[in-house]
């Protein structure tokens, strides 16, 4: 696909993928004489002494910082480097080119200024403190590629304590796109009732937790989440329930309290959603044991839990992956630039799962009934309606 | 000069003075079809999956973050809002338009990406911790408009603990420009020996401390610093010596241990440097009591310690202020964009006063002997030689 040499050379030549640009045409004056006089006049308006008037206005009415500065359109991407792509704990410096790439997408697709802050602390309380102190210059926070369950604690705590919204792409973004895909997949197998589907989620990290939360909010009552130790259920002994988020999962899923591994609980289920990070976790036999016309979303990257072709052969009616080289890519880029755009434009204070279900619905509705096919259940990445639909959803929420 | 209405309207229309810009021409493609294909290809190079190659390279060799990301050209402007312009403790939100203005100057004059981080903590240890955690994505730190002596402690501590350079404009920037101006002023009164000048500094905050430090490094042996309680000297009782920076001043200045107020110690001195924040502090009588052909730098803004015309009438040979509407403006903008440019380009690890003296010399030398006049002792703000001269100075340091 992409060669390492091409990638490294491009990055060496670009020498950084983003930069600061003035919103006044200061750098376009070529004549030096003119530059001097324009510069002097401009600086007296945008810097001292003129800017003191702006500072005083904001001091009297803090809310005006949204009118007179870039706060309204600027977010921070916070990453501690502990869980970057499929590479694991590679540290903040190594995470920086990834976050710069994300910033390019924010700018290109959402028109958002996203400042990558790859930070040199992996301690949850230090990260929380850091983000709280960071607030004044930013309109929203995007949390990215921090290991779970630490990141769930951080996001929970910051949701309560920040005065600006916090979006956790691995949790919120993935859950929205997955639910949107599921909504459309169900239309194709004529199951309009999501409530009584039996859904198995493999993986209980940020993505697994987010998908459980959004499905619960969408009224799914028969979810089973499987982690490394097997199905999670209330009071599980083997492996225990080692964090509050798994406790929440245990208390709200698996109504029949089924124990066992994935092979045991997948039988007779309608939907498989894999966010386990384990290539090949789902075997053909397991898919065969599912209900007829099953839905298999094998989302782990770069190697899915099962190849779509294998899943189809074993009886799956609709498949999706996280990859662009198979049909039905479940890609967060379908959401994150637009939801941040919308959160900023609506001055939302908080992200909640009711909001996320509505957005999933809005995204699903962008695929017209006439276009909907087994290999086309999600709109394209550059669908220009995404921004306005997601913003409208937030406005009416 | 500038009307409040003009300033507020301009800021409302600009709606932020800076923004993020991609360094790849992604946003210039107008054809949607083309955009989709270019976007897909580009994203696979600058984001997943390609960017993983870059992340892995940096993980193996952290230094490569300077080659593959924007770190090499990105600084943070850190401000807690406690001492903004002449407005005092106005808070981080009200400080933001000022720091955005500063960022515009960094971009326009120095080509530096400066991210304004106006932070919601006024606690020195929290600020230190914040900046330490912030390091990975930044090539240097610029500390701005934080109250003294807290800021001196923060800068001291960070100088020791950061792996990237930290520049404190109020301290370092002011001291450089002041010394450069003094070097050239001395040429005009034919005093080439700076060592035995008697220099009185009014003000012992960031600027006063910085000027004391640079003069000391430039071999001045007869400095007296005056604070609100009068002349500082070793063992002063009245008012005490209430912080370690004043202790350092007391131990290294005022060899004759002169006590008293400004009027007492200004007599028979050669140079007055005012960074007191007190309009009218220096009277004509005081200037008259100085040596003949005295030098009076009344740098407090917006209202200087004495008007240049009054100082001249009272016998001062050379005057300077912080204002653009009098001759000889001592303006940090002559230094800060270029020194950050130079610190980044030379990958300097630290700012020290030996370096700052050399830079003051370099700046002074930009005014040719033939141009040098009583009302022209500093180069112009847009002198295009500033960058290369300051960079060269750092390279040979």
Structure confidence at residue A246 (pLDDT): 96
Q: What are phi and psi of A377, to 5 degrees?
A: -115, -5
Q: Do A7 and B53 touch (CB under 8 A)?
A: yes
Nearest to B45 among A6, A70, A107 (CB): A6
Residues of A in contact with B54 (CB under 8 A): 7-8, 11, 97-98
Name every residue whose Cβ is closer than 8 Å to that of residue A184 and which is 6 or more positions away in sequence.
A364, A367, A372, A377, A378
Determine the average pLDDT of the residues in B141-152: 97
Structure confidence at residue A31 (pLDDT): 65
Q: Do A10 and B45 touch (CB under 8 A)?
A: yes
Tokens found for residue A153: 């604690």
pLDDT at B257 over 60: yes
Dist. CA A88–CA A203, nearest whole Å? 16
Q: Do A16 and B71 touch (CB under 8 A)?
A: yes
Structure confidence at residue A237 (pLDDT): 81
A116 part of contact set with chain B, CB < 8 Å: yes
Strands (E), B90-218: 113-118, 140-143, 166-168, 199-202
Kindly report which listed range (A384-388, B17-21, B347-351) carries the lowest average pLDDT score. A384-388
In chain A, residues 119-158 whose CB comes closer than 8 Å to chain B: 119-121, 126, 129-130, 132-137
- Give the chain A residue nearest B12 (alpha carbons): A68
A384 part of contact set with chain B, CB < 8 Å: yes
> pTM for the full model?
0.95
Q: What angle do CA B77, B79, B84 make, to 5 degrees?
A: 120
- Give the chain B residue nearest A303 (alpha carbons): B49
Structure confidence at residue A167 (pLDDT): 98
Dist. CA B253–CA B324, nearest whole Å? 31
Nearest to A16 among B36, B73, B91 (CB): B73
Residues of B in contact with A57 (CB under 8 A): 8
Q: How many CB atoms lie within 10 A of CB A242?
A: 12
- Give the chain B residue nearest A44 (alpha carbons): B2
pLDDT in tens, chain A (397 residues): 689 999 999 999 999 999 999 998 776 556 666 666 667 788 889 998 899 999 999 999 999 999 999 999 999 999 999 999 989 999 999 999 999 999 999 999 999 999 999 999 999 999 999 999 999 999 999 999 999 999 999 999 999 999 999 999 999 999 999 999 999 999 999 876 888 899 999 999 999 999 999 999 999 999 999 999 999 999 898 777 889 999 999 999 999 999 999 999 999 999 999 999 999 999 999 999 999 999 999 999 889 999 999 999 999 999 999 988 899 999 999 999 999 999 999 999 999 999 999 999 999 999 999 999 999 999 988 888 999 999 999 998 7
State the smallest CA–CA distance between residue B365 and chain A in angstroms.
Answer: 21
State the smallest CA–CA distance between residue B125 and chain A in angstroms.
Answer: 12
Cβ-in-10-Å burial (0-12, 13-18, 19+) of A59 comes to buried
Kindly name the residue from B60, B71, B102, B129 that is annotated as catalytic. Answer: B102
B354 part of contact set with chain A, CB < 8 Å: no
Kindly name the residue from A17, A35, A102, A284 that is annotated as catalytic. Answer: A102
- Give the chain B residue nearest A163 (alpha carbons): B120
Half-sphere exposure at residue B390, Cβ-oriented, CA atoms within 13 angstroms: 28
Q: Do B129 and A126 touch (CB under 8 A)?
A: yes
Dist. CA B215–CA B354, nearest whole Å? 10
Dist. CA B322–CA B153, nearest whole Å? 26
Structure confidence at residue B384 (pLDDT): 86
Name every residue whose Cβ is closer than 8 Å to that of residue A63 and which is 6 or more positions away in sequence.
none
Q: How many CB pairs under 8 A join A and B?
A: 359
Look at the alpha carbons of A152, A150, A279, A270 in this order and tell me if their dihedral is positive or negative. negative
Select from B16, B37, B158 the residue whose CB has the most chain A CBs within 10 Å, as the one to mutate to test that interface.
B16
Residues of A in contact with B71 (CB under 8 A): 16, 93, 96
- Give the chain B residue nearest A38 (alpha carbons): B382
pLDDT tens digits, B194-250: 888 999 999 999 999 999 999 999 999 999 999 999 999 998 987 778 899 999 999
Helices and strands (H, E) in chain A, number of each type: 16, 11
State the smallest CA–CA distance between residue A163 and chain B in angstroms.
Answer: 12
Q: What DSSP character marks residue B315?
A: T
Q: Do A94 and B333 touch (CB under 8 A)?
A: no
Average pLDDT of the residues of chain B: 94
Is B102 an active-site residue? yes
Residues of B in contact with A85 (CB under 8 A): 48-49, 51-52, 55
Dist. CA A149–CA B365, nearest whole Å? 59
A45 part of contact set with chain B, CB < 8 Å: yes
Kindly name the residue from A17, A35, A47, A292 that is annotated as catalytic. Answer: A47
pLDDT at B29 over 70: no
Dist. CA A355–CA A394, nearest whole Å? 7
Select from A25, A107, A133 the residue whose CB has the most chain B CBs within 10 Å, as the one to mutate to test that interface.
A133
Determine the average pLDDT of the residues in B67-75: 98
The share of chain B scoring above pLDDT 70, in percent, equals 96
């Amino acid at each position: 696909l992409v060669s390492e040499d091409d990638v490294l050379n491009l990055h060496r030549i670009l020498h950084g993928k983003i930069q600061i640009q003035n919103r006044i045409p200061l750098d376009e004056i070529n004549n030096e004489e003119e530059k001097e006089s324009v510069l002097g006049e401009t600086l007296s308006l945008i810097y001292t002494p003129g800017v003191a008037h702006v500072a005083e206005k904001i001091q009297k009415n803090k809310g005006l910082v949204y009118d007179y500065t870039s706060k309204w359109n600027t977010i921070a991407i916070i990453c501690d480097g502990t869980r970057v792509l499929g590479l694991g704990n590679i540290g903040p410096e190594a995470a920086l080119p990834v976050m710069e790439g994300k910033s390019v997408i924010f700018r290109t697709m959402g028109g958002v200024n996203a400042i990558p802050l790859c930070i040199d602390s992996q301690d949850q309380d230090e990260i929380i403190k850091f983000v709280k102190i960071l607030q004044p210059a930013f309109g929203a926070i995007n949390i990215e590629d921090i290991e779970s369950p630490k990141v769930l604690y951080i996001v929970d705590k910051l949701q309560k304590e920040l005065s600006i919204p916090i979006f956790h792409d691995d949790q919120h973004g993935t859950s929205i796109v997955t639910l949107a895909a599921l909504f459309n997949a169900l239309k194709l197998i004529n199951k309009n009732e999501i409530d009584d589907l039996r859904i198995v989620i493999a993986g209980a990290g940020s993505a697994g937790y987010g998908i459980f939360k959004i499905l619960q909010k969408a009224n799914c009552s028969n979810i089973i989440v499987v982690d490394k130790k097997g199905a999670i259920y209330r009071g599980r002994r083997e492996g225990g329930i080692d964090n509050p988020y798994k406790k929440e999962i245990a208390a709200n899923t698996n109504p029949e309290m089924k124990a066992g591994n994935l092979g045991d609980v997948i039988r007779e289920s309608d939907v498989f959603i894999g966010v386990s990070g384990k290539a090949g976790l789902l075997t053909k036999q397991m898919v065969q044991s599912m209900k007829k016309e099953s839905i298999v979303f094998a989302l782990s990257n770069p190697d899915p839990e099962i190849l779509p072709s294998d899943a189809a052969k074993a009886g799956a009616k609709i498949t999706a992956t996280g990859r662009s080289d198979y049909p039905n890519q479940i890609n967060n880029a379908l959401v994150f630039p637009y939801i941040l755009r919308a959160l900023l434009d609506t001055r939302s204070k908080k992200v909640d799962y009711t909001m996320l279900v509505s957005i999933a619905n809005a995204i699903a509705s962008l695929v017209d009934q006439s276009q909907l096919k087994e290999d086309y259940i999600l709109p394209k990445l550059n669908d220009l309606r995404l921004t306005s639909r997601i913003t409208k959803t937030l406005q009416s929420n």
